[in-house]
Amino acid sequence: MTLDEIKTLVAGDLKAVDRRIVEQLTSDVALVGQVSNYLIHAGGKRLRPLLVVLAARACGYQGEQHVTAAALIEFIHTATLLHDDVVDGSEKRRGRDTANEVFGNEASVLVGDFLYSRAFQMMVTLESLGIMEVLANATNTIAEGEVLQLMNAHDPETTEQRYFQVIYRKTAKLFEAGAEIAAILARAPQSVQSGLIAYGRHVGTAFQLVDDFLDYRAAPDELGKNLGDDLAEGKPTLPLIYALKAGTPAEQALIRQAIEHGGLAELDRISAIIESTGGLQYTARLAKRESELALQALGELADSPHKRALQGLAEFAVARNH
């Protein structure tokens, strides 16, 4: 299934999510609305809210609370983007200027805080301690992931294990939480809940692995950000970690210097090293494995169009080129 086909299956739900997002962005403080709307309406695939509504429907959920759940997941994600772009000094997001470039770092950080707190206000309306626990833990884990990534930055000794800790906390955890709260809303059996938790974790991991792959392979207009951003920020992502381990001593020295100092002066040479050492192929192979594990995790879920759409989403996560 293509992403458009998947979205068509739950088009009504996604429109309701968009309406809920617009409703909840209201504020008496004009700048809050300006910054929030700038990023929320900047495009993006909306994979996390899509996962929530698909998982809820796949569990047979017939209510409307999944719409609020999907919207608040997108608010949490958007808040992390606002904060990320300030920390990283990013200039591009989804093909256009980042909010911090347009409105400044101070406004971006504070509106990110607004979106986090608004997400928790929405969370309370679901009247589920289980959902509140899942999302409270998720936001705390995401914050820890941000700090871990900061610790890894400019450190050529970063291992695969440390890298995977970061991407689980920063990216996969919110996918995992979205799938879990959908199962809780639907009162799904524990075996189904456990399967959806694993599904979300593996899909989120696959998605981030492909993102890191594309940072050295995609055209900038496809990726929606500047090619080589991770290298410029001294982030040792998996393609770079693998190349550092597999390269010649001269290649290793070049990569170490690039990680320690950041910048794009050697982007072409380092991209060629990543290619020649098999770093991209290795990253793609691990992403494919995560996608396959996600598919296996759906084994307890009854067959339905929505289950097949979840399967399609796992396949899309590794097949995309942006």
Digit-coded pLDDT (tens) for 65-84: 999 999 999 999 999 988 88
For the chain, the average pLDDT equals 91
State the pLDDT at residue 181: 98
Tokens of 275: 């290619």
pLDDT tens figures, 205-229: 999 999 999 988 855 555 455 567 8
Global pTM reads 0.92
Which residue has 């693998």 as its token pair? 242
Q: What percent of the chain has pLDDT over 90?
A: 73
State the pLDDT at residue 43: 65
pLDDT confidence bin for 230, thresholds 50/70/90: confident
CA distances from 80 to 83, 87, 102, 174, 293 (A): 5, 10, 17, 11, 26
At residue 97, the 3 state secondary structure works out as strand
Dihedral sign computed on CA atoms, order 290, 296, 302, 303: positive
pLDDT tens figures, 103-135: 888 888 888 899 999 999 999 999 999 999 999
Domains and their CATH numbers in the chain? 3-319 (1.10.600.10)
Strands (DSSP E) along the chain, which ranges?
92-93, 96-97
CA distances from 275 to 92, 208, 288, 317 (A): 25, 19, 18, 21
Please compute the mean of the pLDDT values over residues 139-156 and round it to a whole number: 94
